[in-house]
Amino acid sequence: MRAAVRGAPVVIAPTRPSWPFIGRMAYFGAHGPPQGGKLASNRQYYGERDHHGESMTNQELDHQRSSSGIPPLAATPVPAALAVALVVVLGGTAYTATLTAVGGLPAATVAPVLAALVVAALALIHTARSPAPAEEGVGPVARALSPHRPIGWRAERQARIRQVIAAGDVLTTVLQPIVDLNDGHRVGAEALARFGGRERRSPDVIFGEALAVGLGVELELAALETGLTALGHLPPGSYLSLNVSPSTVLSARLAQVLDGAEAARIVLELTEHAEVADYDVLTRALDTLRRRGVRLAVDDAGAGFASLRHIVRLSPDFIKLDVSLTRGIDIDPVRQSLAAALVSFARDTGPVVVAEGIETEAELEALRHLGVPLGQGFHLGRPMPVAAVDLREPSGLSRLG
């Protein structure tokens, strides 16, 4: 069987009879086999694709199988357990994979996504081996952390990031207002890093590369130093929210960077993406800062388990609802239920909830109805240069209770 993954020829050669698995893959997940074993409903759940990304009908899949000397799926039973070894030849290199199915159901029922998963696996292999830094479909941090890089990539990126840190004018800050959803007043702002000069790329990409080459903390500290200069442009009583990773919180230099700033007006947003190895150590480091008046926010709440664990273990002052929870919350009962649960939790335990990514009036109204007190997003105010931000102006909310 041949397939093309991002233009690269791929040969899949079974090491022993594996025909039940060529064309589709058995899927046993939280949903179980699709109801009634109908392949039409399989596409609703899994979206079968050929290796060009086009949808494949059952007839097309059976034709593909028969052209390879493989019986049709509907006539193929799957035994109680079957392990299949495949050798994948990619660019002259052979990869071996073992696939296991457990079932006893007809193959047409238990094998809905073989082609999709095999081709997806090959795409991951191809992406990991590719030196291109901007592969479509792969996150910026994942790309940056890939060990498969051209010779000299690490040294070149280290040099560029050190130049960003040292230059002083490449790394800048923009501010996005944080608004009281009840009366429209701007109560604070989040500092967001931006890069100029030759580094006009996504901040996520640059921070991901810095992490990959061992300069993640250094770049974060530089961004914090730059962001803190915005505090003097904000009116008294407002606060400045700054993003930090757990590693930066544990850095001895963080206290030095914050030294001299008005601690009571600083909120550190702990991101979800980095793993916390020891919560006791992190808690002690945060307690030192919080005794000085610094407040803590847990970012990306609702996006994954890590943020919920941060909330339970760290007792933050703010809980920031992730944009994936806010987006479309006006029409999605599931999002509404999760947001309501977090709002109820916050009422019982003390944190203030902030909704991120509010882009429509309908989302705003839904969040206000759920009792979310603060929010930010394009509907309330886009990120703007520090000098252009005036938190004394109302946000312009159209309907306030």
Q: What is the model's pLDDT at position 153?
A: 79
**Strand 239-244 with 186-195, pairing:** parallel
- Please compute the mean of the pLDDT values over residues 275-285 and round it to a whole number: 90
Question: Are both 74 and 201 inside the same structural domain?
Answer: no
Domain boundary among 94, 129, 164: 129
Q: Is the pLDDT of residue 238 over 80?
A: yes
Question: Are both 165 and 124 inside the same structural domain?
Answer: no
Q: What is the model's pLDDT at position 395?
A: 54
Higher pLDDT, 355 or 80: 355
Q: What is the model's pLDDT at position 252?
A: 92
> What does residue 89 show for φ and ψ, rounded to 5 degrees?
-105, 115
Q: Count of CB atoms within 10 A of residue 34's CB?
A: 19
Domain boundary among 129, 145, 179: 129
- Please compute the mean of the pLDDT values over residues 177-183 and round it to a whole number: 95
Decide: helix, strand or coil at residue 277. Answer: coil
**Strand 186-195 with 384-385, pairing:** unpaired
Q: What is the mean pLDDT of the chain?
A: 71
Question: Are both 366 and 231 inside the same structural domain?
Answer: yes
CB 261 within 8 A of CB 239: no
Alpha carbon of 118 to those of 30, 143, 188, 271: distances in Å?
20, 21, 48, 33
- Among 252, 254, 231, residue whose Cα is nearest residue 241: 231
Question: Are both 256 and 376 inside the same structural domain?
Answer: yes
How many domains does the chain contain in total?
Answer: 2
DSSP conformation letters of 312-338: HHH--SEEEEPHHHHTTTTT-HHHHHH
Question: Are both 111 and 165 inside the same structural domain?
Answer: no
Q: What is the model's pLDDT at position 182?
A: 92
Confidence label for 280 from pLDDT (cuts 50, 70 and 90): very high
Write the burial class of residue 300 (CB in 10 Å: 0-12 exposed, 13-18 middle, 19+ buried): buried
Higher pLDDT, 340 or 197: 340
Q: Is the pLDDT of residue 257 over 50?
A: yes
Question: Are both 79 and 8 inside the same structural domain?
Answer: yes
Confidence label for 394 from pLDDT (cuts 50, 70 and 90): low
Question: Are both 261 and 377 inside the same structural domain?
Answer: yes
CB 98 within 8 A of CB 83: yes
Q: What is the model's pLDDT at position 98?
A: 47
Residue 98 domain boundaries = 2-129
Query: pLDDT tens digit string along 315-360?
Result: 999 999 999 899 999 999 988 998 999 999 999 999 999 999 999 9
Higher pLDDT, 148 or 377: 377
| Gap between the Cα atoms of 329 and 364, Å rounded | 9
Q: Please report, for the domain that includes residue 205, its CATH number.
A: 3.20.20.450
CB 194 within 8 A of CB 172: yes
Residue 393, in any domain of the structure = no
CB 161 within 8 A of CB 172: no
Question: Are both 193 and 238 inside the same structural domain?
Answer: yes
Higher pLDDT, 9 or 224: 224
Query: pLDDT tens digit string along 290-315?
Result: 999 999 999 988 776 777 888 889 99
Residue 92, in any domain of the structure = yes
Q: Is the pLDDT of residue 289 over 50?
A: yes
Query: pLDDT tens digit string along 9-61?
Result: 333 333 333 333 333 333 223 233 333 333 222 222 223 333 333 334 445 54
Question: Are both 175 and 90 inside the same structural domain?
Answer: no
Confidence label for 73 from pLDDT (cuts 50, 70 and 90): very low
Residue 143, in any domain of the structure = no
Write the burial class of residue 287 (CB in 10 Å: 0-12 exposed, 13-18 middle, 19+ buried): exposed
Q: Check the CA dihedral 237-238-242-247 and report its sign.
A: positive
Higher pLDDT, 184 or 200: 184
Query: pLDDT tens digit string along 96-129?
Result: 544 444 444 444 433 333 333 443 444 444 444 4
- Among 100, 68, 73, residue whose Cα is nearest residue 2: 68
Domain boundary among 129, 164, 188: 129
Confidence label for 150 from pLDDT (cuts 50, 70 and 90): low
Higher pLDDT, 155 or 199: 155
Residue 225, in any domain of the structure = yes
Q: What is the model's pLDDT at position 3?
A: 36
Q: What is the model's pLDDT at position 387?
A: 83
- Among 395, 269, 377, residue whose Cα is nearest residue 326: 377
Q: Count of CB atoms within 10 A of residue 275's CB?
A: 9
- Please compute the mean of the pLDDT values over residues 67-93 and round it to a whole number: 45
Q: What is the pTM of this model?
A: 0.62
Poorest-pLDDT segment among 80-89, 243-252, 345-354: 80-89
Question: Are both 181 and 288 inside the same structural domain?
Answer: yes
| Gap between the Cα atoms of 181 and 375, Å rounded | 6
DSSP conformation letters of 110-177: H-S-HHHHHHHHHHHHHHHH---TT-TTS-HHHHHH-S---TTHHHHHHHHHHHHHHHSSSEEEEEEE
Q: What is the model's pLDDT at position 6?
A: 36
Question: Are both 76 and 196 inside the same structural domain?
Answer: no
Question: Are both 107 and 168 inside the same structural domain?
Answer: no
